[in-house]
Structure 1
Amino acid sequence: MGNLLEILHKEVVPAEGCTEPIAVAYAVSLAAELLEEEITGIQLHLSGNIIKNAMGVGIPGTGQTGLPIAAALGAVVGRSHKELEILSGLTQNELKLANDLLDRKLLKVEIMDTPEKLYIEAQVKTENHTATAILAKEHTNIEYLALDGKKVTPKKSKADCGKPGLSDTEAYEGSVDRIFEFISTVPNSDLSFLLEGARMNKAISDEGLRGDYGLQVGKKMNQQSAVNLFGNDVANRIIAATAAASDARMDGSAMPVMTTAGSGNQGIACTLPVISLAELLGKDEETLARALALSNLVTVHIKHYIGRLSPLCGSGIAGGVGANSGIIYLMGGSLEQIKHGIQNTIASLSGMICDGANSTCALKISTSTNTAIQAATLAMNNIAPTTKDGVIFEEVEDTIRNMERLVQEGLGDTDKTILNIMLSKGGAK
């Protein structure tokens, strides 16, 4: 599975705001920074998955939702070097400039007919020049950057600095066995950076439990009242803490999140159940770091087959399976029990669809966290589905690979259908 420590450093990175609209802001910024004259137009060509995941999500520091304000901010902030933290430190003057740009009707958005699920093409124009930036496959992967059709060499991505050019197959295909061996033997000092991510995600969880964000899934589950059927047991405290982080993030909190495999919600889904359980069990930092390495790497492994963007909910399925693995590790489970947990979780969650980034992500994440806990409990009792059951195969790697087959063969038109339903709503833009 390539160098697993390199994969962790590449795939576990901070971001402020939902990664799809933030990636749009990043692409626009890359192009805008090549221009010196006043901007006269911005044209976006986007894959359907980008539009689906950017329509309904809050943009940090703006009180607004969706692609337009994200794209406009990219044109004015001028700090593409921050990549997915490009809106960090947003000022009121920058927000005013962005809204002025939108008021001038300079932004046009079109769906791009492309097989690439993650595709962002931003053309920024002035009276005399046109700059173009194309991101594809990954949120910060610059495939093309040009001024007036002449290619410009982009600065190297932070995520790629010092990393070998591993292909997808070399880097991400592998096995749960190898992941477990790695997290069991890697020097603890090499994993210490994951604890910073834990502190980051715990902070936004606490913010979600305090504030009135989104649907308040986590906050209301955490409050004890006559209309709350959830108790104050360990499971519900973990579920509430995890959902609350998504509540805050989807509603535009300006707090950063440590992402996993290109998604903040995936980072939340695969880490916060592990962080919360480690705290409740009084585990030390080394045990937590190893559990987080396991949960993140299992999530990345499964995302390789589901796809970077997908008709399936990566946060719920990949994040839920990753969380399940980390939970079992904290409970003292064996490699075989971790495999049981993966089988249990996939059997429960494999049909969860993605209908874009929005407030209901917290609902999906609460469901997946509950499933991860349930699946871990069964796994610790050595219970798992068999080859007689649905998409489950005897070998866990075959079951994981079935997720790719499900997406490619079974759900080919699902994304298009979901997006059409979303666009059919009155007032949808």
Structure 2
Amino acid sequence: MNYNEITELLKVEVVPALGCTEPIAIAMATAKGASYLKNGVEKIELFLSTNIIKNAMSVGIPGTGANGIDIAAALGAVAGNADLKLEVLRDCNQEDVAKAKKMVADKKVSVQKADRTEKLYIEAICISGDEKARVVIKYKHTNITLVEVNGEIIYANEDTLDAPTEDSKNNKKKLELSVAKIYEYATTVSFEDIKFLLDGAEMNSKVAEEGLKKEYGLKIGKTLMEQIDKGILSDDIMSFTMAFTAAGSDARMSGCPLPVMSSAGSGNQGLTAILPVVAVSKKLECSDETLARALAISHLTTYYIKSFLGRLSALCGCGVAASIGASSAMTYMMGGKLENVCYTIKNMIGDVSGMICDGAKPGCALKLSTAVSSSVKSAILAAHGIEISDKDGIVSKEADDSIRNLATIANNGMTNCDNVILDIMICK
């Protein structure tokens, strides 16, 4: 097993993001297109996959007080910096926001559903007079596969332009991973090699604290924590983990201007992969090294599951991927070994496998709190040697096979689910 390769994978998949990754990816595409035009963008045409529309239409955009696709696209074109990738809107100011809002009010942004098979597909056409720049992003939120200016191809990423699923490089890494390899790496790699993961713990904890202090979204985390303070809920691992994690999602989904550390292409997955682990670490008074090793388990397990599910899915990536990663990490922190981690993965798949994704939105905080409560429960059971039977539902004897079964449900059994969900969302 190549430890350096896995460490590099973590550095690629665990990166800061400012705002929900789907609208931010749209902003990155328009920012890239605008950079090739001599004058300001006058009009934007977007062609987006079902999953991108579903996850971008309702979420708050940092610093704007507004939600959705149009404002993200406009702000990216007005003042975005595509070189910053998932932090593309980092340097925008209120004057930029005002210009972007005027573009939206003047109906200069149009959105259409792309006739594509890719789950993650963004095509942004930025127009200024006779000039036109077209940018395509596929497979991963920052993966620009085509830049075309005035009909001339400026850039084309041939490695992924026609790839049927995720890019071949990541598929290769996926095939090299397993639950056993993840556990071996995380528990034996040098602490110095994974110490950087603590930066994500600090970053996401700040977002959670912001959600606990201010009234973001549905105030789920803040409300739950208030009930702990009043003695209505007990100050135990379960309640504290639910409140702390939900507070992070409350803030992020409602436009909090702070960046979060993402995991496997999603900021909410980053919150779910990190915050419950931090919360349990606080309660168990774990060392920094134990926390870093637990975070490595969480992020790698999240990535491993998502590599089968796909970057975007009909299933909630937080509920059925990142929460399993977090539960695996908790099991390790509770003294569990490899077999116990396998138990908790199977327990989680037997519990939360049906959680659908109906888009990024403030209500995601509810799903995160539900998923992490299952994470704590599954970890406690697994640490005590309790595992769900392989005779139960889609759970197999081996944890890796159970993960593949989960992906089969998502990719084969729910092929039309995204379209049905989007139709319901739009028709409302």
Q: Same fold (TM over 0.5)?
A: yes
Sort the Cα spacing of 1:277 and 1:312 in 2 relative to 1 into closer, same or farther, 3 A.
Answer: same
| Aligned counterparts of 1:331 and 1:228: Cα–Cα separation in 2 | 26
Q: How does 1:327-342 map to 2 (within 5 A)?
A: 327-342=330-345
Retained in 1: the 8 A contact 2:145–2:155?
A: no
How big is the shift at 1:78?
A: 4.0
| Aligned counterparts of 2:137 and 2:67: Cα–Cα separation in 1 | 22
Verify: 1:147 aligned to 2:144, yes or no.
no
| Aligned counterparts of 1:59 and 1:228: Cα–Cα separation in 2 | 35
Between 276-285 and 209-218, report the one with greater CA deviation: 276-285
**SS of equivalent residue, structure 2 residue 147:** strand
Letter matched to residue 154 of structure 2: V
| Aligned counterparts of 1:233 and 1:290: Cα–Cα separation in 2 | 23
Letter matched to residue 255 of structure 1: L
| Aligned counterparts of 1:256 and 1:38: Cα–Cα separation in 2 | 27
Sort the Cα spacing of 1:328 and 1:74 in 2 relative to 1 into closer, same or farther, 3 A.
Answer: same
**SS of equivalent residue, structure 1 residue 224:** helix
How big is the shift at 1:291?
A: 0.5
Partner of 1:371: 374
Verify: 1:206 aligned to 2:209, yes or no.
yes
How big is the shift at 1:228?
A: 8.1
Partner of 1:295: 298
1:95 to 97, 102, 105: 97
Partner of 2:427: 424
How big is the shift at 1:169?
A: 2.4
Retained in 2: the 8 A contact 1:220–1:228?
A: no
Structure 2 gaps of 5+ residues are: 158-166
| Aligned counterparts of 1:417 and 1:335: Cα–Cα separation in 2 | 39
Deviations 1:397-427 (A, max 9, x none): 11000122101221011000000000011xx
How big is the shift at 1:185?
A: 1.7
How big is the shift at 1:107?
A: 1.0
Q: How does 1:250-289 map to 2 (within 5 A)?
A: 250-289=253-292
Q: What is the alpha-carbon root mean square deviation over aligned residues?
A: 1.6
Between 243-252 and 179-188, report the one with greater CA deviation: 179-188
Retained in 1: the 8 A contact 2:243–2:369?
A: yes
Sort the Cα spacing of 1:405 and 1:166 in 2 relative to 1 into closer, same or farther, 3 A.
Answer: closer
Between 375-384 and 98-107, report the one with greater CA deviation: 98-107
Sort the Cα spacing of 1:56 and 1:317 in 2 relative to 1 into closer, same or farther, 3 A.
Answer: same
Q: How does 1:348-359 map to 2 (within 5 A)?
A: 348-359=351-362
Partner of 1:324: 327
Retained in 2: the 8 A contact 1:35–1:131?
A: yes
Retained in 1: the 8 A contact 2:13–2:264?
A: yes
2:198 to 184, 195, 199: 195
Letter matched to residue 53 of structure 2: I
Verify: 1:133 aligned to 2:125, yes or no.
no
Letter matched to residue 347 of structure 1: G
Sort the Cα spacing of 1:264 and 1:226 in 2 relative to 1 into closer, same or farther, 3 A.
Answer: closer
Sort the Cα spacing of 1:286 and 1:226 in 2 relative to 1 into closer, same or farther, 3 A.
Answer: closer
| Aligned counterparts of 1:141 and 1:412: Cα–Cα separation in 2 | 24
TM-score, normalization: structure 2? 0.94
Sort the Cα spacing of 1:91 and 1:337 in 2 relative to 1 into closer, same or farther, 3 A.
Answer: same
Verify: 1:362 aligned to 2:365, yes or no.
yes
Deviations 1:144-177 (A, max 9, x none): 011112122389xxxxxxxxx9623211132100
Verify: 1:167 aligned to 2:164, yes or no.
no
Deviations 1:191-244 (A, max 9, x none): 111111110000001111111111111111111389985322221011100110
Equivalent pairs counted in the alignment come to 416
Partner of 1:161: none
Partner of 1:159: none
Verify: 1:56 aligned to 2:58, yes or no.
yes
Verify: 1:20 aligned to 2:11, yes or no.
no
| Aligned counterparts of 1:288 and 1:350: Cα–Cα separation in 2 | 26
| Aligned counterparts of 1:299 and 1:40: Cα–Cα separation in 2 | 40
**SS of equivalent residue, structure 1 residue 49:** helix
Partner of 1:72: 74
How big is the shift at 1:120?
A: 0.3
Partner of 2:163: none
Retained in 2: the 8 A contact 1:311–1:415?
A: yes
| Aligned counterparts of 2:369 and 2:239: Cα–Cα separation in 1 | 9
Partner of 2:389: 386
Verify: 1:315 aligned to 2:318, yes or no.
yes
Structure 1 gaps of 5+ residues are: 156-164
| Aligned counterparts of 2:123 and 2:325: Cα–Cα separation in 1 | 32
| Aligned counterparts of 1:311 and 1:343: Cα–Cα separation in 2 | 20
| Aligned counterparts of 2:354 and 2:281: Cα–Cα separation in 1 | 29
Retained in 2: the 8 A contact 1:172–1:301?
A: yes
How big is the shift at 1:96?
A: 1.2
Letter matched to residue 386 of structure 2: I
Retained in 2: the 8 A contact 1:260–1:266?
A: yes
Partner of 2:109: 107
| Aligned counterparts of 1:228 and 1:54: Cα–Cα separation in 2 | 38
Retained in 2: the 8 A contact 1:224–1:232?
A: no
Partner of 2:398: 395
Sort the Cα spacing of 1:396 and 1:204 in 2 relative to 1 into closer, same or farther, 3 A.
Answer: same
**SS of equivalent residue, structure 1 residue 152:** strand
Letter matched to residue 327 of structure 2: N
Sort the Cα spacing of 1:86 and 1:215 in 2 relative to 1 into closer, same or farther, 3 A.
Answer: same
**SS of equivalent residue, structure 2 residue 274:** helix
Retained in 2: the 8 A contact 1:12–1:260?
A: yes
Letter matched to residue 306 of structure 2: K
How big is the shift at 1:87?
A: 1.3
2:222 to 219, 222, 225: 219
TM-score, normalization: structure 1? 0.94
Retained in 2: the 8 A contact 1:194–1:289?
A: yes
